[in-house]
């Protein structure tokens, strides 16, 4: 069966896998992805409270109605359990209500795409805060993911960096990335840029599938480890046994 490539798509974009609540509207065409309206608010405690409000603001600003949206793109992590499920549940509900496809993308892939814009870096390491003094990470070479996503102690990842240097570190590494010092001081010559996932980067990752009208894969959250609530329950069971 021939693949039909449409001229363009109006897309709602959501990501709550990091401390940043990201949402907005983009148009996806063969020539690229154009931002129409977006909001990014850094507040890891208010994902559920703020997301739908920010979505409404973007629709109002753009002049679009909900029924004008052709598809939804949502970041699937890796990220903390609570924040990540807010965005994914909202995206799934929105798509179900309107009968439109919902495409999941890797949040680290979107950060890499955002970091690569306007950069000459051929190799990128994306690092985000996984809490518990750990980081989520993924490596990219010439626009392709070549390692990860994974979750590691910063010291483990930094040891690997010494053996396999990269041109650019992106994603807003947390303070414990370098034992309380800036990561640049431990990685001389490797620029470190604080990049959150953005609506253009998120949509760019899945743009070919959007334009081809390919059916989306099932939404699968990428936690990389069990949520705190499960671990706490397990600890209580062990104490009671």
Q: Is 125 exposed, middle or buried (0-12, 13-18, 19+ CB in 10 A)?
A: buried
* Residue closest to 33 by CA, chosen among 13, 55, 17: 13
99 C-beta neighbours (distance < 10 Å), count: 7
Please, which pLDDT band fits residue 160 given cuts at 50, 70 and 90? confident
**Fold adopted by 8-107+197-225:** Nucleotidyltransferase; domain 5 (3.30.420)
Q: How confident is the model at residue 186 (pLDDT cuts 50, 70, 90)?
A: very low
Alpha helix stretches (DSSP H) within 173-213: 183-186, 199-212
The residue whose two tokens read 């414990």 is 176
User: Strands 168-170, 144-152: parallel, antiparallel or unpaired by DSSP?
Assistant: unpaired
Contact of 25 with 64, CB cutoff 8 Å: yes
pLDDT exceeds 90 at position 139? yes
Instruction: Please compute the mean of the pLDDT values over residues 107-124 and round it to a whole number.
Output: 93
Amino acid 175: pLDDT: 60
**212, 103 in Cβ contact below 8 A?**
no
Query: pLDDT digit string (tens) for 40-81?
Result: 999 878 888 999 999 999 999 999 999 999 999 999 999 988
- pTM of the model as a whole: 0.86
Instruction: Please answer whether residues 136 and 106 qualify as being in contact, where contact means their C-beta atoms are separated by less than 8 angstroms.
Output: no
Is the CB of residue 89 less than 8 Å from the CB of residue 83?
A: no
Residue 133: what pLDDT?
87
What's the pLDDT tens digit per position in 193-229?
888 899 999 999 999 999 999 999 999 999 997 555 4
Q: Which part of the chain is CATH 3.30.420.40?
A: 8-107+197-225, 108-193
Q: Which 8-state DSSP code applies to residue 191?
A: -
Pick the CATH number of 108-193 from 3.30.420.40, 3.90.1150.10, 1.10.3720.10, 3.90.180.10: 3.30.420.40
Q: What percent of the chain has pLDDT over 70?
A: 83
């Amino acid at each position: 069966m021939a693949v039909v490539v449409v001229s363009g798509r109006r897309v709602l974009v959501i990501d709550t896998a990091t401390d940043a609540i990201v949402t907005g509207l983009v148009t996806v065409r063969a020539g690229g992805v154009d931002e129409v309206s977006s909001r990014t608010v850094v507040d890891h405690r208010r994902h559920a409270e703020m997301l739908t409000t920010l979505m409404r603001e973007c629709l109002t600003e753009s002049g679009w109605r909900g029924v004008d949206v052709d598809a939804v793109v949502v970041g699937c992590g890796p990220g903390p359990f609570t924040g990540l499920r807010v965005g994914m549940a909202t995206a799934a509900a929105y798509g179900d209500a309107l009968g439109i496809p919902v495409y999941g993308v890797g949040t680290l892939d979107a950060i890499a795409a955002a970091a690569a814009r306007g950069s000459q870096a051929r190799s990128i390491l994306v690092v985000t805060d996984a809490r518990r003094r750990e980081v989520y990470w993924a490596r990219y070479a010439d626009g392709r993911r070549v390692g990860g996503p994974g979750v590691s102690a910063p010291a483990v990842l930094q040891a690997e960096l010494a053996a396999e240097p990269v041109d650019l570190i992106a994603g807003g590494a947390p303070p414990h990335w370098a034992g309380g010092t800036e990561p640049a001081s431990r990685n001389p010559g490797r620029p470190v840029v604080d990049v959150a996932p953005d609506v253009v980067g998120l949509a760019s990752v899945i743009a070919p599938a959007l334009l081809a009208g390919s059916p989306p894969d099932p939404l699968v959250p990428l936690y990389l480890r069990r949520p705190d609530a499960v671990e706490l329950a397990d600890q209580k069971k062990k104490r009671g046994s």
